[in-house]
Structures are given as structure tokens and as C-alpha cells.
Chain A
Amino acid sequence: MQIRRLAGWLALSAALPVAAQESTPAMVAAAEKEGKVVWYSSVDVKVGEQIAKAFKEQYPKIEVDVERSGSERVLQRINQEYQANIKNVDVVNSSDASHFLFWKQQGWLAKHTPPDAQKFAPQYRDPDGTYFTWRATLDCMAYNTNLVKEGEAPKSYAELLDPKWKGKLVKAHPSYSGTSLTGTYALVKVLGWDYFEKLSKTGIQQLQSTTAPPKTLASGERAVMVDGNEYNIFIEMAAKSPVRPIYASEGTPFVSSPTAVFAGAPHPNAARLFQNFLYSAKAQQLLVDVGGQRSVHPDVKEPAGRTPLKDIKLLPDDATGMLPQIADIKKKYTALFGN
């Protein structure tokens, strides 16, 4: 009888969502003893540092080491380090959700659900509780308002092939940027490789990270961005740079960027504490206000002046579908556009 009760409890608990791990005072104390959290992230470096600063204001005794690189590089570094048995990373954020699939398969990720993440819609949560969408952005087009009049700005990807845009476009590279990779995957499904082949002949300035084209646009070096981070565009706009996003008629790729804690984290408590912080309403609001990001946290408010997600035609991301095609996408793209 007791066994049956026990089994019942077990079955019940298995059906329940994984319990969240709160930031208990014990965890805080242990984290402070560890003194540091190492965070590999592909978010724009200044945004990352601001998040870190906010965390440090709350927990002054814990240092945050922000290691910023493009998502693909984040993947390489972590994999290279783990292969050499170097366990340096505590928390990772990447705009390529497929990375997390890979790391989970390797068994490198820790099961840890921040309390706030419990409220997220299921498509933004890993069923095994190892990673959750931390931020999201759109891999969108944009234009420089000084160089291009509002009426003349392209409204679709197809328009970019018009000769009048030759030599004026800038773009990121899927081999370096998870955002661009996700975007490329989504766009290939809609526009085909044929489109990209034509695009490669328009004298595009080929950059690497999606954080870069918005800045190229702001400087006036190029007039239109083919893909780049929407959040960087928002940041530039806040700094009064002459840029504006374009939501193409064929659709704009949506890129969710998860964060996870590593099972082999050298500072396990600080890692979890930090992770919890990252998903808190406070951090999420900061991401949205200052970082230009989109958040899937239900309590976060979208600032004025930004087109709400529901009004944009989105091309949702699909990490599982993308995973087997990654090498192929990178190869085809490199063959067309170079390294």
C-alpha cells in the first residue's frame, strides 16, 4: 500500500513542471564565497556589461566576467575548452538555440529553472529544464535615414536585388553569428538559395556578428542592412543615430536566444544566482529598455516607439529543424560570400 502511494507521488511529481530553484540566502552566501561568475554571451558587449553592472549592484560581492563573442565563436570556445578539459564557463547565452541542443546532448548543461522562467510559454522552455529563452530579437533589415528617404526604403528582400542597391548593403555571416544563422535558415526556406546567389553579386560588405551591421549603418558607411540585430538598431535610435528598422513583406526571422547553466560550472552557486537574476522581471525590463531586446517574460512592458511583435510578420525559429542543416548552410553561404 505504501509503495503504491509512493509510486503515486512519484508519478505525480514527474508530471508536474520541474520545481524552480529560488535564490535562497544559503545560495547567496555560497555564491559570495565563490566570488565570481563567468558568463559567455553573444549579446552586444555594452548591453552585457550593463546587465552585469545591475547584477553587481544587487550582489556587490560577486564579480561578473563578461566574455562576449559571436554565437558561433561562443560555441567553438566552449567546445574547444571542454575538449581540452578546461571548465571555465558558468553561464552561457547564445542566439543560436541549436547550440543548446548540442550541449544538452553532451550532458554538459545543468538542470536549473529560474523562478521567473516558470511563467514562460512552453515554446520558450526546454522540457528538461536546462535552458530557457532569455532574450529575443529580430534579424531584420534596416536603413540609414540620412542616406535613404523613408518612401524609397526597400520593403522586401526581393527589392534588394534592384541594381540601385548595389554596393550599399551590409550583412552578417552565419558562420560567426547564431542570429544570422537562424535568420539565414529561415530565409532560405522562404526565398531559396537562388536569392542568396543573386544577393552575393551585389557587392555586399560582409561582416561577421549581427551586432556589427547596425553600427556600419549608423556611421553611414552603408545605406541598408540586410540582416542584423533589431536590438542594436533600437540602441542606435536611442542614441539618435539615423537608422530605422524595416520589417520585410516576406517576413522577419525571429531569433530566440537562450541561456543555460553548465553542470561543470566552476562557480555553481554564483552561476545559479546569476541565472535567476537574468530572468527576473528587473533584468528583463532592463534588457528591453536599454538593450533593445524583445522579452518573453509576461510582466515586461514594450517601450513606446517599437512595433509590437504581434504587428510584425515573423518567421519563427526552429532549432531542432535547423540543427542537421547547420554545416550545410555555412558551407553554401561561405562558397557564395567568402569567409
Chain B
Amino acid sequence: MPHLELEQLTKRYGDVTSVDHISLAVERGEFICLLGPSGCGKTTTLRMIAGFLEPDEGRIKVGDRVVSQPGSVVPPERRNMGMIFQSYAVWPHMTVRDNVAYGLKMRGVESAERRKRADAALAATKLSELAERYPAELSGGQQQRVALARALAPSPEILLLDEPLSNLDANLRGEMRLEIRRLHDQFRDTSIYVTHDQLEAMTMADRIVVMNAGRIEQIGTPQDVYDRPNSRFVARFIGGSNVIEAQHVSGSEVNIRGHAIHVGQGEFARDMGVCVKTHDVEIIPEGEEVGANNVLAGVVRSTAYLGSHRDYVVDIGEDLLVAAPAALDLAPGAKVKVRLRPERCRGLAR
């Protein structure tokens, strides 16, 4: 049985359907990421799982127990979940230790046991030395950890995380990503993590749920979603992809700007997209030998040196983003050919 299940979950605000018939089954111990742009409904979904919002349609089940349905919602305090808020929501009038111990206190854990478990959580998040401080005396990153420790101390079965890293600077973010994943592995709770940052999703999730305009676009492992996006939206959102408009001719052949291109995988439709990764596009400078298959002509528009590789924008009638080896150094205006490896082209019907 899935640990957490969303069935046709729907939430409306006036005329706007914020969450549109979402269905999802989460296994125990999984780390699920709800990924999407702002307004896609991911936070609303999370808040329904937490019990702060009542669904208009559909159900939420934990194990075999229905916790949310229209007209009947188990209040948050009785769901035995943990949550980390975007603003950390660390209580400024309590010490770090009191913050961390709060969940245990509310569940009636005895004082000695409470202290033990709180200390364990503090140790796990490397906050033991700061236990007696007040939040105002801590840095952003440290407060983030307090929120983490607090959420983990009561050993919740389900942990909800609402964009917890968006307020941290880039370095800290990298560190905390690893930290959160590590703690998840250590405690083995079921985690639902909301973010708009695909890098976070890619590095942390067991499965990613890509959402757009209230609907689920695709569910899959990071590799699934990255290598085999099912729609233009997912391809673009997940990053590192070009999506070129094409028309299906027959079989695996499509027409891109009058050229015949072979697409090795994916779905086909009359008007479709072709997804090809930036590093799967080869640039051949003018004058060099190139085959005739899957080749388009273009002009270099701009270039950026990134140390490990060079980014090019090549105009083939539309802009193509190419990640090329650093050694290849072409100036803007140079005429080039680009080759799309057929097995690396993916058809997108949506």
C-alpha cells in the first residue's frame, strides 16, 4: 500500500483552478519533489497534504486512513507530520532547544526522553553548540538547520518541505541540499519537497513530479525526466534542452524548417516538438567535413566561455543553445553547421 496517496485532488479559488485533479502515490521512505514554476499549484498541494487547506474534490490518504476530503479534514495537529516552511518559521521567543523540542512536547513525550531526542536531532544537524541561543542570534543557514532539527525530532512519518532553500545564498544551498538528503537517508521518513529549482529536484529526489498550471506534467526519476521528457514544458523546465518545432512526415522522419531530420525516440504528432540536449548538438565549423544526415546550417550569434565548456547560441532560423567543448572557439558571425544525433533526438507530442 502506498504511504501517501493523492486521488484526483482539486482546489479552486473563485474561477481559478489552482490544483486540477492531481493523483499521486508515494511509497514509504520516498523522497518526492514537486517541481514547477510559481503558480503551478505545488505549494497549494503541499498545504492540502498538511491539512491547512480543504480540497474541493478528491482525497488524501495516509496508509488506509483518509485524512482529507471535501467537508472533512483532519486538522494539522493530528496528522503527525513534520514541516519546514519557506521562512523557516522558527519561533523567536524560544531557544533553539525549545524550538526543536516543541513537537515532542506537544505529543506528550516525557521530559527526559524529550531532551534526549531533541539533543539527537541537534547533533544530527550539527547544532549542539547553539542549543541555548535564540534564533535572532543565528545566521540564515543556522536557522534553516533549526527548522530541520525541529521537524526531524518527533520522527514524523511524513516530512513536508516548502522551498526551504530559496532564502539561502548559492554556496549554502549546495551544502544544505546534501544535508537534507543525508538526513532523509538517515531517518528514512517519507519526504515531499516543493521547489521551483530543477537543480535541487535533480540532486535530491527519488522521483520528480513536474507540475504546470495545476496539473501533473510528468512523474519520474531524475534521469527519466531529464533524458526522456514527455512534453515541451518538461523539456524546457528541466533545463539543458532545446525544443525545436517540427512537423511529422512519416515513421521517424520529421520536417524542421524544410530539412528532413530523423528522430530516434519519443512520441510523434502532426505538429510536434523535437527535444535535443544542448550537449547533444555538434557544431561543425565551416569548411570541415560533415555528413548530410540531421544537419542544419546556422550562424553563431553569441558565445560564452564557461571554463569547462563553451556555450554557443546558433541561429538556424531560430536560436539553438549548444554546449560545446571549450577547445572549439568560434566568433560571432561565423557560419557553421549543426548536427543533431538522431538517437539523441526525442519527439514531443505535447
A–B direct touch in complex (beta carbons closer than 8 A): no
